[in-house]
């Protein structure tokens, strides 16, 4: 009997989705578990698989359509399913759940991606296992996905793979030639760098004023809606302070080599600010709260959101029970979450909840900004670029590395004095990082 292909329940916070791309056409034979359609939600992308074998007789909602959870996407009629070599899932395979595109890291027959066509060993572009970010990059750079070697889980094509494929063929050779230890073959000859070709400027014909209309993705639309909601529902106010980063930089310099040898990655700034933030939140608990009706919910746990500006849009993955994590655990988890955000492999669990958020515009060069709250949280700490500035220390003017920090808070439950003292406490803990170990 016919089987409906429906929009699956992904999480309690997701009620709708957008059809990003159908992987099958009406009339195509399918097997159980074959990926049929890619859906885009405001948080993750996912694939919906065939609940039974047969023929895809109807597509109810085409590419670009907005759909609700439980809504019928298409219909599979009983019939001759794809035989060997036509579909990527062996007949009789167990039904597959809706798989987040970010998590579906397998390729080849097991992934429903189809067998190589002919003797080329390549999959069609629409069946190539790739993250949404990789597909966008491939379209942007006009790269054929079938020619890209994936470096993700089980060969999944990542954005970095597409960008590497799009780079000029001579880029790697030029990079090697420019490396610090590189030398000309003839050491007695002067090394002459290759001339750099400067592209001619694009001349716009007189009178031509082109425009492009691009539909916002579900994630971008949700970001826009939530930011407007934050400004219209919360009484936001921002306070600022400056932090002398000398002690942190000196500590990192002393321990960077040993830390990297032990953990495999460097000691960054994030862990210091996470630790300092938690220390300040313990003293000013209302900044770690939320408003529900006429009640304040004071949270005695610390799930710290770390804002990440990925190519697909801003996301805020969460460090769970951050107060129980070591410096190395914080740094390691932040790196994993940032990579997953860029690759499009974050799960709903990574994004759910959070009691307070830290955002660092300094990585993009921001010197000063007023961050917007991440509802229902009532506080967000904004970090910025570190710059050498003259400071008065002990009656003398000295040059110190300084960062401006900003705290945006919800004035409905957080008083101004409380917010100022919170940020001062963060400043004190960062300027005396030894206190973080005994706080």
Reported as a single tens digit per residue, the pLDDT across 116-141 is: 444 444 555 556 777 766 777 787 78
Q: Is 384 labeled as catalytic in the residue annotation? A: no
Mean pLDDT of the region 144-173: 72
| Choice among 45, 415, 432, 439 that is catalytic | 415
Q: How far apart are CA 267 and CA 41, in angstroms?
A: 34
Is 97 part of a structural domain of the chain?
Answer: yes
More confident residue, 36 or 40: 36
Q: Please check whether residues 342 and 359 belong to one and the same domain.
A: yes
Is 196 part of a structural domain of the chain?
Answer: no
Sign of torsion over alpha carbons 49, 52, 57, 61:
negative
CATH of the domain at 6: 2.40.50.100
**pLDDT beyond 50 at 105:** no
Is 203 part of a structural domain of the chain?
Answer: no
Q: Please check whether residues 129 and 252 belong to one and the same domain.
A: no
pLDDT at 411: 96
**Mean of per-residue pLDDT scores for the chain:** 81
Q: Please check whether residues 88 and 121 belong to one and the same domain.
A: no
Bridge partners of 185, per DSSP, are none
CATH of the domain at 246: 3.30.559.10
**pLDDT per residue as tens digits for the range 184-224:** 444 444 444 555 567 677 677 777 788 888 888 887 888 88
Is 202 part of a structural domain of the chain?
Answer: no
Those residues with Cβ within 8 angstroms of residue 432's Cβ, 6 or more apart along the chain or in another chain: 247
Among residues 133, 152, 168, the one where a domain terminates is: 168
CATH of the domain at 125: 4.10.320.10
Q: Based on the structure, what is the number of domains in the chain? A: 3
Q: How far apart are CA 109 and CA 116, in angstroms?
A: 9
Q: Please check whether residues 79 and 136 belong to one and the same domain.
A: no
Q: Please check whether residues 389 and 359 belong to one and the same domain.
A: yes
More confident residue, 322 or 230: 322
Phi-psi region of 176 (alpha: psi -120 to 50; beta: other; left: phi over 0): alpha
Q: Please check whether residues 127 and 43 belong to one and the same domain.
A: no
> How many CB atoms are located within 10 Å of the residue 313 CB?
18
Cβ-count burial of 9 within 10 angstroms (0-12 exposed, 13-18 middle, 19+ buried)?
exposed
CB 253 within 8 A of CB 318: no
Is 198 part of a structural domain of the chain?
Answer: no
pLDDT band at 95 (very low <50, low <70, confident <90, very high): very low
Q: Please check whether residues 289 and 152 belong to one and the same domain.
A: no
Q: How many helices (H) and strands (E) does the chain have?
A: 10, 20
**pLDDT per residue as tens digits for the range 380-437:** 999 999 999 999 988 999 999 999 999 999 999 999 999 999 999 999 999 999 888 7
User: In which domain, by residue range, is 125 found?
Assistant: 116-168
Bridge partners of 339, per DSSP, are none
Helix runs in 284-363, H state only: 327-343, 348-351
- In order, the DSSP letters of 131-173 are -HHHHHHHHHHT--GGGPPP-SGGG-B-HHHHHHHHS-TTHHH
In the chain, % helix, strand, coil (3-state, to 5) comes to 30, 25, 45
Is 343 part of a structural domain of the chain?
Answer: yes
Q: Please check whether residues 405 and 386 belong to one and the same domain.
A: yes
Cβ-count burial of 53 within 10 angstroms (0-12 exposed, 13-18 middle, 19+ buried)?
buried
What single DSSP character describes residue 85? T
Among residues 112, 130, 154, the one where a domain terminates is: 112
Q: Please check whether residues 164 and 306 belong to one and the same domain.
A: no
Is 175 part of a structural domain of the chain?
Answer: no
Is 233 part of a structural domain of the chain?
Answer: yes
Q: Is 63 labeled as catalytic in the residue annotation? A: no
| Choice among 323, 411, 432, 439 that is catalytic | 411
Q: Please check whether residues 349 and 429 belong to one and the same domain.
A: yes
Q: What is the CA radius of gyration of the chain?
A: 26
Query: What are the tokens at 63?
Result: 């590419």
CB 331 within 8 A of CB 267: yes
Q: Please check whether residues 89 and 136 belong to one and the same domain.
A: no
Q: Please check whether residues 381 and 341 belong to one and the same domain.
A: yes
**pLDDT beyond 50 at 60:** yes
pLDDT at 215: 86
């Amino acid at each position: 009997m016919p089987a409906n292909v429906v929009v699956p329940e992904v999480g309690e916070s997701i009620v709708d989705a957008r059809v990003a791309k159908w992987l099958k056409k009406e009339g195509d034979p399918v097997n159980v578990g074959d990926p049929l359609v890619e859906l885009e939600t405001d948080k993750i992308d996912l694939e919906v698989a065939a609940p039974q074998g047969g023929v895809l007789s109807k597509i109810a909602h085409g590419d670009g359509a907005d759909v609700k959870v439980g809504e019928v996407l298409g219909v599979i009629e009983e019939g001759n399913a794809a035989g060997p070599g036509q579909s990527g899932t062996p007949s009789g395979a167990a039904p597959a759940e809706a798989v987040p595109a970010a998590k579906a890291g397998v390729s080849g027959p097991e992934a429903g991606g189809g067998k190589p066509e002919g003797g080329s060993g390549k999959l069609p572009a629409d069946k190539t296992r790739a993250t949404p970010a990789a597909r966008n990059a491939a379209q942007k750079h006009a790269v054929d996905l079938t020619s890209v070697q994936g470096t993700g889980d089980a060969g999944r094509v990542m954005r970095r793979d597409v960008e590497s494929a799009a780079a000029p063929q001579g880029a790697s050779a030029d990079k090697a030639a420019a490396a610090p230890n590189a030398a000309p073959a003839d050491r007695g000859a002067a090394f002459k760098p290759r001339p750099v070709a400067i592209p001619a400027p694009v001349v716009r014909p007189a009178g031509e004023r082109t425009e492009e209309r691009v539909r916002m993705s579900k994630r971008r639309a949700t970001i826009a809606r939530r930011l407007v909601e934050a400004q219209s529902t919360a009484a936001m106010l921002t306070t600022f302070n400056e932090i002398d980063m000398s002690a942190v930089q000196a500590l990192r310099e002393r321990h960077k080599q040993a830390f990297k040898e032990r953990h495999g990655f460097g000691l960054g700034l994030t862990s210091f600010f996470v630790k300092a933030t938690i220390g300040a939140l313990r003293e000013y608990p209302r900044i770690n709260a939320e408003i529900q009706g006429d009640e304040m919910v004071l949270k005695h746990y610390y799930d710290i959101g770390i804002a990440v500006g990925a190519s697909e849009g801003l996301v805020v993955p969460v460090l769970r029970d951050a107060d129980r994590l070591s410096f190395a655990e914080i740094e390691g988890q932040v790196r994993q979450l940032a990579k997953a955000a860029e690759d499009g492999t974050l799960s709903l669990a990574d994004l759910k909840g959070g009691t307070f958020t830290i955002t660092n515009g300094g990585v993009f060069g921001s010197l000063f900004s007023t961050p917007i709250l991440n509802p229902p949280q009532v506080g967000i700490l904004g970090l910025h670029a570190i710059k050498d500035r003259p400071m008065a220390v002990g009656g003398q003017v000295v040059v110190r590395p300084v960062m401006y920090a900003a705290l945006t808070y919800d004035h409905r439950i957080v008083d101004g004095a409380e917010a100022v003292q919170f940020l001062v406490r963060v400043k004190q803990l960062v300027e005396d990082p030894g206190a973080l170990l005994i706080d």
